[in-house]
Amino acid sequence: MSDKLDKIFDSFVSNNLFKNKSILQSNYTPENIPIRDEQIDSVGSILAPVIRGERASNLFVYGKTGTGKTLSVRHVGNKILKRVEEMGQNHLKVIYINCKMKKVSDTEYRIIAELISELGGKVPETGLPTGQVYSRFVDLIDSKKQIILIILDEIDQAVQKISDNFIYSLTRMNSELKNAQISIVGISNSLDFMDNLDPRVRSSLGEEELVFAPYNALQLQEILKERADIAFKEGVLEEGVIAKCAAFAAREHGDARRALDLLRVAGEIAERENNKKINLGHIDSANQKIEKDKMLDVISSGPKQFQLILHSVMQLEEKNKGSDEGIFTGDVYNRYQEICEKTKNEILTQRRVSDILADFDMLGIINARVISKGRQGRTREIKLMLSPQIKQKALEILEDSLGLK
């Protein structure tokens, strides 16, 4: 037993493909950022006034996930801060807040509390009226002459939960401040976020706008190459590996984060297989693994009713295997009722089940097409979209969590 373990450890130590794995993690901030020079320059010139202690225009940055928005903005923020410090001044504060951080900052209160604590103020744990926290915040930053640069990442998420008058009051805060001034940088994933925003907010927040276009495969390659050089040991990557990674990620709206994940996971797989090199096959497995993990995560973390319904779909699919007969909503509902009876779960109405099936469709777990069968009415024709291995694993998870078997 321990011999075997030793062997595993030995090979792990000796066959380490990585020089520094953290470089491929998404939270790593590289020294220089390829491709985004133009955007960085723009951000820099828009924010430059704060170096002289003047207020910069509010900036709004759009772009899909993994296009380097956050990275670029933070990079510029750090550079500016460093510059100001080099000049021996301290009139600048840069605050970065991710509005979507796992349930942490998703209300107006919490965001302001977060802002206060970033500024070194103490945050009352609970219960203060929002207005009071707000005025405490104003007092805090207005206590001396300074410029506050607030970076609100994934701002669209916040606005979905809170009303947009939070941002409005932020943008308008400058008129209340006597000493300090604030500039806001909003970062949003969705391109049409601005459209359904209050016009007053739109004009004040979007004084300057910047769009980060998705990377294309070539640009992704460049990024990957740069990081791979320092992340992996010499000569570990086989020919074409980077290109393939880039191609995969480019297909998914040019998400660089995805590309890096892919490369990292491929490396891990190669390592586990005790391979000296990372080849194209590893990229494929990595892609599958990521896909699989994501899917299984959705399935296992879903509410019980979702699992019940998915289980009935899977059973029906198993039964219909071979025949080309489709699965229809009615079948699913009947089977679902049976399972509920058996497991003593509440039975939802068909209306709800129909909605849940539509959700599955959105998640890509099933493919549902609304068809009309003439006299036999209208229904969804459902196809399960899970690959065999995922299906097997998912079935286990479901039966486990539902107490079936």
Partner DNA sequence: CAGCGTTCAGATGAATCAACGATCTACTCGTCC
Partner DNA sequence: ACGAGTAGATCGTTGATTCATCTGAACGCTGCA
Residues that bind DNA (CB under 7 A): 107, 109-110, 126-130, 161, 303, 305, 328-331, 333, 346-352, 354-358, 370, 372-380
Element holding 280 (H helix, E strand): helix 280-301
Angle, in degrees to the nearest 10, between helices 217-231 and 256-272: 40
Specify burial of residue 166 (Cβ count, 10 A radius: 0-12, 13-18, 19+).
Answer: buried
Element holding 209 (H helix, E strand): strand 208-212
CB of 125 to DNA, least distance (A): 8
CB of 142 to DNA, least distance (A): 21
CB of 332 to DNA, least distance (A): 9
CB of 126 to DNA, least distance (A): 6
Nearby residues of 26 by Cβ (< 8 Å), 6 or more positions away: 257, 260, 261
32 or 323: CB nearest DNA: 323
65 or 350: CB nearest DNA: 350
78 or 376: CB nearest DNA: 376
The Cα–Cα gap between 380 and 372 comes to 8
Q: Which residues pair with 383 in a beta bridge?
A: 367
Q: Amino acid letter at 90? A: N
154 or 261: CB nearest DNA: 154
The Cα–Cα gap between 12 and 274 comes to 8
The Cα–Cα gap between 344 and 353 comes to 17
Q: How far is CA 342 from the centre of its chain?
A: 38
11 or 135: CB nearest DNA: 135
**Residue among 337, 360, 364 at smallest CA distance from 349:** 337
145 or 373: CB nearest DNA: 373
81 or 128: CB nearest DNA: 128
Q: In what order do the strands lie in the sheet with 366-372?
A: 327-328, 378-384, 366-372
Nearby residues of 160 by Cβ (< 8 Å), 6 or more positions away: none
Instruction: Provide the 3-class DSSP secondary structure of residue 382.
Output: strand
248 or 360: CB nearest DNA: 360
Contact 242, 225 (CB under 8 A): yes
112 or 286: CB nearest DNA: 112
CB of 296 to DNA, least distance (A): 20
CB of 26 to DNA, least distance (A): 26
CB of 330 to DNA, least distance (A): 2
CB of 22 to DNA, least distance (A): 33
75 or 380: CB nearest DNA: 380
CB of 78 to DNA, least distance (A): 31
Token digits of residue 381: 């024709």
CB of 329 to DNA, least distance (A): 3
Q: How many CB atoms lie within 10 A of CB 225?
A: 14
Which residue is associated with the tokens 């990372």? 278
Instruction: Provide the 3-class DSSP secondary structure of residue 381.
Output: strand
The Cα–Cα gap between 146 and 388 comes to 60
